[in-house]
Each structure stands twice: as C-alpha cells, then as structure tokens.
A = this chain, B = another copy of it.
C-alpha cells in the first residue's frame, strides 16, 4: 500500500495488517508528532488510489497509549 510506504518513509509506521474478521478491513498504527497529524490525515485519504477513489473508507483515530510493554522481535 502506498500509504504504508509513505508512513514508513517518515519513520512513523509502527505496525499494520489486516483485521481477520472482516474482508478488506485493516488496522495501521502510526506514531506521529503532534504538529504532523493534519499531514497524516491528508495522506491517509490521498496516498492510496483505492481510498481516494472511494473503494475503501479510512478512519484516523487518536490513540493515547498509556500502557506499553516492550516486545521481543
């Protein structure tokens, strides 16, 4: 997806992948500086042709991570 590459290029991509209980649904987590949120929202709607053309919807939600556990990779 163009949007994921765009996020990754800025160092903002945390994790992404499909939500297995719904065809075509996915979840992307990005860590974005507060003053770049508008840029993120714009890119989320425009970077992917499938979204820009109305085939898929995108919803950007703010997530305040209060608990996080380091993960082995």
Contacts and interface: CB of A to CB of B under 8 A. Distances in A.
A56 to B, nearest CB: 17
Interface in A11-59: 11, 13-21, 27, 29, 31
Contacts of A14: 68-69, 71
Interface of A: 4, 8, 11, 13-21, 27, 29, 31, 61-71, 73
Contacts of A31: 71
Identical chains in the assembly: 2
A24 B22 CA distance: 24
29 contacts: A4-B67, A11-B69, A14-B69, A14-B71, A15-B67, A15-B68, A15-B69, A16-B65, A16-B66, A16-B68, A17-B63, A17-B64, A17-B66, A17-B67, A18-B64, A19-B61, A19-B62, A19-B63, A19-B64, A20-B61, A20-B62, A20-B63, A20-B64, A21-B62, A27-B63, A29-B29, A31-B71, A68-B73, A70-B73
